[in-house]
Amino acid sequence: MKGKVDALFVPQLNRDTHYFSSIVSATARDLHCFIIQTNTSKYGDSRITAPYKTEMKNIVQVKGGINDVILVGQINLDALHKRQSTYTTELLDVVNTCYNCQKHSRKDACKKCKHKLSISDVKGTPPNFHR
């Protein structure tokens, strides 16, 4: 399913929220897609998880409670698709530039290098990712 799914919906009735939380986080990064996980308020841990940096990966997350509620989160498929289409080319350009750099023998040269990957909230694609 890698590269073929933009969003994966996971309705569940699961009390083992810690274990499933780890699975959802890993799946979002491995498949490079959004995961929309819904659980009953009795057990909690409904969320929208994205292949973003750790501090931003949960777009919406609710622990649980007495009342069932509906929360709405917004996902940005355009940003995901843009990163998926440009990441590999950009990474190869940076690797080739750094490999051919005359200053690579100096340890401090790479820290000041202008040829770095563009900064994005969306993580890079996993190995063997093809859209």
Q: What is the pLDDT of residues 51-99, one digit of tens each?
A: 988 888 999 888 877 777 777 888 888 988 888 888 888 888 877 777 7
Q: How far is CA 122 from the centre of its chain?
A: 6
The C-alpha atoms of residue 29 and residue 27 are separated, in whole angstroms, by: 5
The C-alpha atoms of residue 110 and residue 95 are separated, in whole angstroms, by: 12
Express each pLDDT in 102-128 by its tens digit: 665 555 556 666 666 667 778 787 877
The per-residue pLDDT for 32 is 92
The C-alpha atoms of residue 115 and residue 20 are separated, in whole angstroms, by: 38
Query: Phi/psi of residue 25, each to 5°?
Result: -60, -45
**How many Cβ atoms from other residues are within 10 Å of residue 86's Cβ?**
14
Tokens 């998926």 belong to: 84
Q: Are 43 and 68 in contact (CB under 8 A)?
A: no
The C-alpha atoms of residue 121 and residue 11 are separated, in whole angstroms, by: 26
Residue 35: pLDDT over 90 = yes
Residue 112 C-beta-side C-alpha neighbours within 13 Å: 6
The C-alpha atoms of residue 113 and residue 107 are separated, in whole angstroms, by: 11
